[in-house]
Structure 1
Amino acid sequence: MTEAAIRRTPGTPCWVSLMVHGLAATEEFYGALFGWDFHPGPQQLGPYVRGTLDGKEIAGIGQLPPDRHLPIAWTTYLATDDADTTADTIRSRGGTVGVGPLDAAEAGRMAIASDPTGAVFGIWQAAAHVGTAVAGAHGTPVWNELITRETSTVGKFYEALFDYDVEPVVSADFDFLTLRLEGRPVASLHGVGRALARDRGAHWMTYFEVDDTDAAARLVSELGGHVLQSPRESANGRLATVADPEGAVFTIVRSADH
């Protein structure tokens, strides 16, 4: 595969990862829920594995040091051609770079940042590792959405980072932006106003495709996780918001086009 074939347009969500305290237990949970197998990944920041389906990489899970008490949450990574330049832009536009930029062995170069509202995200400059290698199957990331208080200001931040075309939903009571690259929707920003949970603040939400939302939600509970919002119909399919046993929140969805 040529470099041109695997390059992802800057700003495209390309990977998701999770840092937890109990790596083995977390592998067991996601392995049972999504059918992932696990293989070692770069160890610069500690023990780290990549979840795979049929040998193709889907997502990363790392282990936090025992003395680190950070929020347990899935992190969305956005593709970049130059992690250092993007990190400089993040800082100049009012965001914060908390980790990196640093090399992840031969896999690529990355940084962990937060936007001006505090929502954490990653940037990934691919080398050997190009990101999530499967789309559309059970257990694969299908969408990423920023949940924030309001979209107008933070939308300008993301526009400054990448060459997004921003498509607003015009409504008196609905604050929603779709981010497009080369005419294709790649992510969204959802302003929820006072409904934003104080204990979480602004955050990126990962949506994982499932074959059966109701069955997957029941399995989450059986495996020690929690169903935060029961399965419900939406314009994009049947979805539920759930959390794993350590509290990492994500959405499961059977897409409307399945």
Structure 2
Amino acid sequence: MTEAPARCAPGMPCWTSLMVHGLATTESFYQALFGWDFRPGPQQLGAYVRGVLDGHAVAGIGELAPERHLPIAWTTYFASDDADETAERIRCCGGTVAVGPLGADLAGRLVIAADPAGAVFGVWQGREHLGSDLTGAPGTPVWHQLRTYETATVGGFYEAVFGYRTEPEGAGKAEEADGADGVDRATMYLGGRPVAAIHGVGHALPPDRGPYWLTYFGVADTDEAVRRVTELGGRVIEPPRAGPAGRQATVADPEGAVFRVVQTPR
């Protein structure tokens, strides 16, 4: 278990957030699964809470207006020292800015964007709220993987926007190496540190959603976590299996938000 730095370096994954239709029922699901408590967060985009573990903010959940029918998905946010400048760089590199730059009370400034292949991600310029301040423990986000059509082109986009060095699998230390078939994988490094991964799966992506960022949450016992997911009304997409990063499974919450659980040492 490690506490995150006071301020993430620009380009580091720093937060993950979810927008749902039923905030109360979603809170109950993640509280039972990960042990989160909840505290109010910025309300600019509607009702919003922060999931808190042992006093540390680890993720956010917001409530969509009833008339808004957006995909229900966890969104990975990357740190920025200047959200406006990052938004402009996203546009110049072929991405799309959908929301912002937008102030979120005194917490900070955000952007919601999509890469050229359509995967949605966020940009966060922290002020009073700097992002997740506990990582590497059960109940916290421990890794982020972009699942997309192919790695080379989209990898170049993230390199240009966030300054990553991207290496194909085998050229350096692999990322989470989830053990699935396929060779189109790459790891994104920042300052020599692996921070995220890309998995190109061609046309094996779900036809109803396209490319997306997948959040990994640590758990003490993957099989037990999967059992709890189904008990709580979620579903299993990929059952537990061994991988170099630990035993893991892909699941979805009751509203359909997909995430991966991976066994993480306490």
Query: Which of 185, 189, 195 is equivalent to 1:180?
Result: 189
- Mark the CA change 1:243 to 1:164 in structure 2 (over 3 Å): closer, same or farther: same
> What's the counterpart of residue 79 of structure 1?
79
When structure 1 is superposed on structure 2, of 26-35 and 90-99 the one drifting more is: 90-99
Distance in 2, Cα, partners of 1:227 & 1:167: 31
The answer to whether 1:123 aligns with 2:132 is no
The answer to whether 1:33 aligns with 2:33 is yes
Distance in 2, Cα, partners of 1:48 & 1:253: 26
Task: List structure 1 runs of 4+ shifted beyond 4 angstroms.
Answer: 170-173
Residue 6 of structure 1 aligns to a residue in which SS? coil
Once the 2 structures are TM-superposed, how far is the Cα of residue 235 of structure 1 from its aligned partner?
A: 1.4
Aligned length: 253
Query: Which of 232, 236, 240 is equivalent to 2:249?
Result: 240
Residue 71 of structure 1 aligns to a residue in which SS? coil
Once the 2 structures are TM-superposed, how far is the Cα of residue 142 of structure 1 from its aligned partner?
A: 0.1
Describe how 1:12-23 pairs up with structure 2 within 5 A: 12-23=12-23
Distance in 2, Cα, partners of 1:28 & 1:173: 37
Once the 2 structures are TM-superposed, how far is the Cα of residue 170 of structure 1 from its aligned partner?
A: 4.6
When structure 1 is superposed on structure 2, of 204-213 and 7-16 the one drifting more is: 7-16
The answer to whether 1:114 aligns with 2:114 is yes
Once the 2 structures are TM-superposed, how far is the Cα of residue 173 of structure 1 from its aligned partner?
A: 4.7
Q: With the length of structure 2 as denominator, give the TM-score of the two structures.
A: 0.93
- Mark the CA change 1:52 to 1:118 in structure 2 (over 3 Å): closer, same or farther: same
Q: Please, which runs of 5 or more residues in structure 2 have no aligned partner?
A: 172-180
> What's the counterpart of residue 150 of structure 2?
150
- When the two chains are superposed, the root-mean-square deviation of aligned CA atoms in Å is 1.4
Distance in 2, Cα, partners of 1:19 & 1:30: 13
The answer to whether 1:50 aligns with 2:50 is yes
Paired residue type of 1:209 = G
Residue 242 of structure 2 aligns to a residue in which SS? strand
Identity percentage of aligned residues? 63
> What's the counterpart of residue 6 of structure 2?
6
Q: Please, which runs of 5 or more residues in structure 1 have no aligned partner?
A: none
Distance in 2, Cα, partners of 1:114 & 1:164: 17
Q: With the length of structure 1 as denominator, give the TM-score of the two structures.
A: 0.95
Paired residue type of 1:7 = R
Once the 2 structures are TM-superposed, how far is the Cα of residue 199 of structure 1 from its aligned partner?
A: 1.4
The answer to whether 1:252 aligns with 2:247 is no
Paired residue type of 1:185 = P
Once the 2 structures are TM-superposed, how far is the Cα of residue 194 of structure 1 from its aligned partner?
A: 2.1
